[in-house]
Amino acid sequence: MTIHWHGLTMRTAPFSDGSPQVSQWPIAPGEYFDYEIHPEIGDAGTYFYHSHVGFQSMTAHGVLFVEDAEPPPYQWDEDVPVVLSDFYRKSDQVIESELLSNPFIWPGEPDSLVFNDRSGTASFDTAPDDSCKPYIITVDPGKTYRFRFIGGATISFIQLGIEGHTNLTIISADGYYTKPAQVDHIQIGGGQRFDTLITTKSEDQLSAEGRNQYWIRYETRGRSPALQGYALLQYSYKLSSKPRRDIGRPQFPERGHYGVAQQRGSGRWKPKPPGKNPNSSPVHLPPDGTLTNWLEYTLEALKPQTPFPTLSEVTRTVYITVEEKVVNGTYKGGSVTGSLVWVNNDLTWTDKEAGSLNYKPYLIDAYVTGKTPDYDVAVKHQGWDPVMKAWPAKVGEVLDIVWLSNSGPSGLFEYHPMHAHGEHYWDLGSGNGTYDPVSNEKHFQNYTPARRDTTMLYRYAERGGNSVTAGWRAWRIRITDDNVGTWLMHCHIIHHMIMGMQTAWVFGDALSMLREIPEPYIAGYLDYGGSAYGNDSYDPLVLTYYDG
């Protein structure tokens, strides 16, 4: 396995990005590896970590907050982390083997969604196990909460709404503060993070409404059958009690361990949960087919740290068509006689395949042999070097990367949350049909797009013809001495990653990358199972990259 520090990889030491066969060797069974992360001013926000091998991230993931070094630009009282994920009863190994089988076997849709540690598919009275009950979030009246939504799902594209609470203010996306943006629901794919401020109802409002519990509804979009579940937002306010004296709001967040608000146990009154889940949803969520405009051309950085490059500064545009293809077989009448892969300009890439071909991780290969992808060959070959199967970029380039969604042999279009390791990119938006850079640039005359690390390549129809392109998502990246390295860009649907929907990029040449890697203790990182990897009987020789 390896661990990827999602959204923070520019702040990791060399070999610490967590992408196997790209920046490091996988960690061998029974061994461990020390990762080093160094957040900087401006990185305060919501992140998470997860395994980057096979299907392990379904359960091998966790929350990571970077706290503000100075008083934050927004004020809130408590943090509420919400990880939205999905779950299969099948094992990781079974799912992976089915996705790679010949003939292809689809492992099916997940068995449930998961809201933190609960599925919310059964009621409090009838659930066979606590894990099936709705998750409960207890809040106080008249306070402001920072809900940190994290997309931890393997495949599910999720919408979420809170009954009676439609005034949600987005203040951060993918770890970076944004100008406030008002929404009435959350829409999140795998790898995305959105932080929202929610001000709870006052005691007078609760008394007038005669209730202190509100349902949180979450549903999948774009897949069949749709999955759904409930959580519960409950107030620590007894409706029969007299209004309490307002004790005031703290000036800055009241924090507990690791930035998460500590729940006051015996001091917080809690109502009894409702016995049954609603017969019909009390929360209206937009239907499939109406999702593509959510926050598009809306989010702006609160305090931009780097100037946004204009279209006139773009030196190269790389178009990448992603589609499903049949290998060694046919697709007919919904049946596949061969294996299925996802290709990026006709290239598949997985760490498993790279390992089977005895490829060294690209960063290590650059250090040991000085090899990097041939830039001139790649430019003539759809952007990638056919020998190294990697996508090069030179220091000084400003790239527009345009992802194009193709229907493939089945004619089906899908939603793809596209994620970039390394530095955040400027998200240029999305649209149906053909990407027109000149027309799209008009959006930026009075608007500077936020920098993101995961944005959605939407579908604009459920089905099209065989290999029809419809839908694009565009990014802009400036290659500098500060972001040289080896980075993955890929769909964050884990199924698609296993099936090849990953691209390995090399920013800069070997010399520029090696300037960042000091000599002492480097040898232990260069071989699989080297001395930088420890075990029960051996302490690793670890390169400490950051002082203090």
Tens digit of each residue's pLDDT (9 = 90 or more) over 13-43: 989 999 999 999 999 999 999 999 999 999 9
pLDDT score, position 267: 55
Contacts of 530-533 spanning 24+ positions with Cβ under 8 A: 530/25, 532/15, 532/33, 532/34, 533/25, 533/27, 533/28, 533/31, 533/32, 533/33
Percent of the chain with pLDDT over 70: 95
Determine phi and psi for 98, rounding to 5 degrees: -65, -45
Fold of 69-259: Immunoglobulin-like (2.60.40)
pLDDT score, position 545: 85
316-327 vs 398-406, strand pairing mode: parallel
Tens digit of each residue's pLDDT (9 = 90 or more) over 481-519: 999 999 999 999 999 999 999 999 999 999 998 887 777
pLDDT score, position 469: 82
Q: Which range among 82-91, 263-272, 366-375, 387-396 shows the weakest confidence by mean pLDDT?
A: 263-272
Least Cα distance to 504 among 357, 367, 347, 335 occurs for 347
pLDDT score, position 236: 94
* 231 three-state secondary structure: strand
CB 321 within 8 A of CB 404: yes
172-188 residues labelled b (16+ CB within 10 A) or e (exposed): bbbbbbbeebebebbbb
* 143 three-state secondary structure: coil
Asked if pLDDT for residue 547 goes beyond 90, the answer is no
pLDDT score, position 259: 35
pLDDT score, position 462: 83
At 261, is the pLDDT very low, low, confident or very high (cuts 50, 70, 90)?
very low
Round to whole Å and give the CA distance between 153 and 84.
6
Q: Where are the domains of the chain?
A: 69-259, 311-521
At 258, is the pLDDT very low, low, confident or very high (cuts 50, 70, 90)?
very low
Round to whole Å and give the CA distance between 209 and 501.
50
Asked if pLDDT for residue 255 goes beyond 80, the answer is no
Which two tokens mark 257? 């361990």
Percent of the chain with pLDDT over 90: 83
What's domain 311-521's architecture?
Sandwich (2.60)
Q: Which range among 151-165, 419-433, 462-476, 495-509 shows the weakest confidence by mean pLDDT?
A: 462-476
Least Cα distance to 34 among 533, 485, 548 occurs for 533
pLDDT, average across residues 54-73: 96
Asked if pLDDT for residue 126 goes beyond 70, the answer is yes
Q: Which range among 80-89, 148-157, 235-244 shows the weakest confidence by mean pLDDT?
A: 235-244
Tens digit of each residue's pLDDT (9 = 90 or more) over 301-321: 999 989 999 999 999 999 999
Q: Which range among 105-114, 330-339, 433-442 shows the weakest confidence by mean pLDDT?
A: 330-339
Do 69-259 and 311-521 have matching folds? yes
**Average pLDDT score, the chain:** 92
Give 28's DSSP letter: P
At 269, is the pLDDT very low, low, confident or very high (cuts 50, 70, 90)?
confident
Which two tokens mark 374? 């041939």
pLDDT score, position 265: 42
Least Cα distance to 326 among 493, 107, 468, 500 occurs for 500
This model's pTM is above 0.75: yes
451-468 residues labelled b (16+ CB within 10 A) or e (exposed): bbbbbbbbbbeeebeeee
CB 413 within 8 A of CB 471: yes
Tens digit of each residue's pLDDT (9 = 90 or more) over 195-253: 999 999 999 999 999 999 999 999 999 999 999 999 999 999 998 755 443 333 333 34
Asked if pLDDT for residue 166 goes beyond 60, the answer is yes
**Look-up of token digits 């992802």:** 403
Contacts of 104 (CB under 8 A, 6+ apart): 98, 336, 338, 339, 340
At 548, is the pLDDT very low, low, confident or very high (cuts 50, 70, 90)?
low
Asked if pLDDT for residue 451 goes beyond 90, the answer is yes
* More reliable by pLDDT, 332 or 7: 7
